[in-house]
A and B are shown apart, each in its own frame.
Chain A
Amino acid sequence: MAPRLEARDEARLAGAEGPAQQMATRVVTRLAAAMGAEELIDITGAHIDSCLYHGQAVLDFADRLADDGARVVVPTTLNVSSLDLLHPEHARGDPEEARASRRLMERFEEMGCRPTWTCAPYQLEVRPQFGEQIAWAESNAIVFANSVLGARTNRYGDFADICCAVTGRAPAAGLHLDEHRRATVVIRLDGVSAGLMERDVFYPVLGGLLGGLVGKAVPVISGLAPGVSEDRLKALGAASASTGSVGMFHMVGSTPEAPTLEAALAGHRPVEEVTVTAADLRGARDRLSTTTSDDLRTVSLGTPHYSVSEIGRLVELLGGRRVGDGVAFFVSTGRDVLHEVELRGWAGRLADAGVTMVTDTCTYFTPIIQDRTGTSMTDSAKWAYYAPGNLGLEVVFGSTEDCVESAILGRVVRDEGIWADA
């Protein structure tokens, strides 16, 4: 069924504002019909993932819009691309594809998008406020915006993101609407040690488990101490959006729409209640590794892009030591965060420690890692989930501490104690 349109939408469909606005409005309207939306809503911001090159079609689409003079009408940020513009020496890919990637990036800049090149736009200085309607792409950013910021976005992706940004309109459906934001699945923790819940590594593992348990449902997690940090919620969300299709979660006492369990459920009974045990978590943690080989060649941190505080923690863990000679150590982050890191004087200390900073892109899909034999290590559930398939390498998932200690020793070592008595 076709959505109810306003006069300005009808005018745009008739071509009153030119061919770019006409096509973008037609795409948003057709998408709204396919989703069963009754109307369109105004949005106040967008985050674009269409700037990542994967084939001629995305470039043709951007060319059509840009050639026809499309301009975004809301503040719009850009996700990672497949190139590190600040560090071109990292490039290992096909030069022809690199040219097409660069061209695609330029077209989005021409349309007025900000060249932020980060998958963590929520770490930029200006970010959406509670209740704002936005159109964000990139699964980890979507789950963070909905869950942690309380902004409202559906799971947008290629083509839809830029068409929403150009029109300032989006289908009134899914997580834009109250009734789809309440939790339907309750996740309770049973017998998990307080010690484990106080560790950073607990959160990506719980997120990885969550994605497999709930798919695309909205879960509420109960039983954790309130005030869980943004970095931890980010790791949890990114993992759940990789192993599953989670677009929003609640955590009682930590996310803004879940001051209480009852609030997250909005007065409804849950469809399902699931108890998570220490054994479940150990299983989820084991599924994030593809090898037991301790022959370490590469460490990759920063998926999603590391925050200033995560980089600060890394500097602290390194403690002036240097990674082993046979180990390449990468940290992916946004160029804005890197700037802040430079201002704080950490960039030199990281370089001295043998750490390579990667911006604008990420090591889990861009061919930056040269040596793909042996074992790669990461503290990111998302990296562990995707990199073996994308890059053809073997991975061991560990805590950030495990990654640092392993890099310094030159072989994989993990602190099993925190899991043994979890």
Chain B
Amino acid sequence: MPEAGPTPLVLVAGTASGKVLRLDEPLSFWGGVETLQGRIIDQRHPQVGEIVAGRILVMPFGRGSSSGSSVICEAVRAGTAPAAILMAERDDIIALGAIAADEIYGLVMPVVVLAPDDHDALLDGAAVTIGIDGTVSVPDSDTGIV
């Protein structure tokens, strides 16, 4: 369910910047992403072949196996994870992968839940910056803040 409480809701706090990779469908990291390059390998996903590494990954919610946490953690370790993940719903599998990477490697991949409208406003390819409080700013837009 979309987040009913205040947004942005910070699941894992940190700063990041990069270009938005907007996914048309939710992605399971386990079986869906390989960690050598960060490539989407789920043959059933419409964006199979795209590279998530260094991107601000925008998707409504996660799906699939709870082993996704370790794939995310492994990708963060290997430097092939997204720069940040922005969703419209909470997802503890994704949050946990980021928490584990922070705990063992001190590497932070922010995970933030946005209001549905703010989430929908993020366009593929846009350069954005994530603040420690979860705010998303788009430097070359008029308002600066989504």
Q: Main SS of the interface on chain B?
A: helix
Task: Indicate whether A157 sits within 8 Å of B99 (C-beta atoms), given known contacts A61-B104, A64-B104, A245-B63.
Answer: no
Q: Size range of the interface on B?
A: 20 to 34
Which of B74, B96, B101 meets A54, CB within 8 Å? Answer: B74
Spot the interface stretch: A26-34, A112-120, A231-239, A369-377: A26-34
| Complex contacts, B63 vs chain A, CB 8 Å | 245
Chain B hits for A64, CB < 8 A: 103-104
A1 contact set on B, CB distance < 8 A: 5
Tell yes or no: A35 within 8 A of B by CB. yes
Is A131 on the interface with B (CB-CB < 8 A)?
no
Complexed CA–CA distance, A185 and B63 (Å): 20
CB distance from B65 to the nearest CB of A (A): 7
Q: Could you tell me if A157 and B103 are in contact, using CB atoms closer than 8 angstroms?
A: no
Q: Is B7 an interface residue (CB 8 A)?
A: no
Query: Do residues B66 and A137 form an inter-chain contact, with CB atoms below 8 A?
Result: yes
> Which chain B residues numbered 16 to 61 have a C-beta less than 8 Å away from chain A?
30-31, 35, 43
Collect the chain A residues with CB atoms within 8 Å of residue B103's CB: 23, 26-27, 61, 64
Cβ of B99 and Cβ of A27 under 8 Å apart?
yes
- Asked if A319 is an interface residue, CB under 8 A from chain B, the answer is no
Do B67 and A35 have beta carbons less than 8 Å apart?
Answer: no
Nearest-CB residue, chain B, relative to A244: B63
Q: Are A55 and B35 within 8 A (Cβ)?
A: yes
Say whether B93 contacts A57, CB under 8 Å.
no
The reply to whether B99 and A57 form a contact with Cβ atoms under 8 Å apart is no
Instruction: Encode B62-73 as 1/0 by CB contact (under 8 A) with A.
Output: 011111111101
A193 surroundings in chain B (CB, below 8 A): none
For the complex, is B92 an interface residue (Cβ under 8 Å from A)?
A: yes
- B interface footprint on A53-85 (CB within 8 Å = 1, 0 otherwise): 011111011001000000000000000000000
Q: Is the CB of A60 within 8 A of B92?
A: no
Instruction: Determine if B99 and A158 form an interchain contact, defined as CB atoms under 8 angstroms apart.
Output: no
Determine whether the beta carbon of A49 is less than 8 Å from that of B66. Answer: yes
A139 touches B65 (CB 8 A): yes
Of B12, B71, B92, B111, most buried by chain A (CB within 10 Å of CB) is B92
The reply on B115 being an interface residue by CB < 8 A is no
Within 8 A of A (CB), among B68-106: 68-71, 73-74, 76-77, 90, 92-93, 95-97, 99-101, 103-105
Report the nearest A residue to B101, measured CB to CB.
A57
Cβ of A52 within 8 Å of any chain B Cβ, yes or no, is yes
A386 to B64, CA, bound (A): 12
B114 contacts the other chain (Cβ, under 8 Å)?
no
Find the residue from A57, A137, A390 having the highest chain B CB count within 10 A: A57
A159–B67 touching, CB < 8 Å: no
Cα–Cα, bound, A52→B96 (Å): 17
| Given A54-B74, A57-B104, A31:B92 Cβ within 8 A | yes
Would you call B93 and A157 a contact (CB within 8 A)? yes
Does B130 sit at the interface, judged by CB under 8 A?
Answer: no
CA of A156 to CA of B96 in the docked complex: distance in angstroms? 10
Q: Closest residue to A138 on the B side, CB-wise?
A: B66
Residues of chain B lying within 8 A (CB to CB) of residue A30: 12, 95, 99
Any B CB within 8 A of the CB of A363: no
* B70:A54 contact, CB within 8 angstroms: yes
Contact with B along A286-297 (1 / 0, CB 8 A): 000000000000
A227: min CB distance to chain B, Å: 31
Residue numbers in A under 8 Å from B128 (CB-CB): none
B45 CB, min distance to chain A CBs, angstroms: 12
User: Is B11 engaged at the interface, CB distance under 8 Å to the other chain?
Assistant: yes
**Bound-complex Cα distance A156 to B43 (A):** 26
Q: A27-B100, A60-B104 given as contacts; is B71 within 8 A of A54 (CB)?
A: yes
Q: Is the CB of A36 within 8 A of B90?
A: yes
Which residues of A, 237-261, contact B by the 8 Å Cβ criterion? 245
Please name all residues of chain B whose beta carbon is closer than 8 Å to the beta carbon of A49 when the two chains form the complex. 66-67
Contact assessment for B96 and A158 in the assembled complex, using a CB-CB cutoff below 8 Å: yes
Which residues A3-33 have CB closer than 8 A to chain B?
Answer: 23, 26-27, 30-31, 33
Option from B11, B66, B104, B111 in Cβ contact (under 8 Å) with A139: B66
Contact residues of B between 107 and 124, Cβ < 8 Å to A: 111
- Min CB distance A21 to B, Å, is 13
B41: nearest chain-A partner, CB-CB:
A389
23 contacts across the A-B interface (CB closer than 8 A): A23-B103, A27-B100, A31-B96, A34-B12, A34-B90, A34-B99, A36-B90, A49-B66, A54-B71, A55-B71, A56-B74, A57-B101, A57-B104, A58-B70, A58-B74, A139-B65, A157-B67, A157-B68, A157-B69, A157-B93, A159-B99, A389-B31, A389-B43
Residues of B within 8 A of A (CB): 5, 11-12, 30-31, 35, 43, 63-71, 73-74, 76-77, 90, 92-93, 95-97, 99-101, 103-105, 111
| Residues of chain A whose beta carbon lies under 8 Å from any beta carbon of chain B | 1, 23, 26-27, 30-31, 33-36, 49-50, 52, 54-58, 60-61, 64, 137, 139, 155-160, 245, 386, 389-390
Other than the given A30-B12, A60-B105, A389-B31, 5 more pairs (CB < 8 A) read: A30-B99, A60-B104, A159-B70, A159-B99, A160-B92
9 interchain residue pairs of minimum CB distance = A157-B66, A55-B74, A34-B95, A57-B74, A158-B70, A57-B73, A34-B11, A159-B100, A158-B69
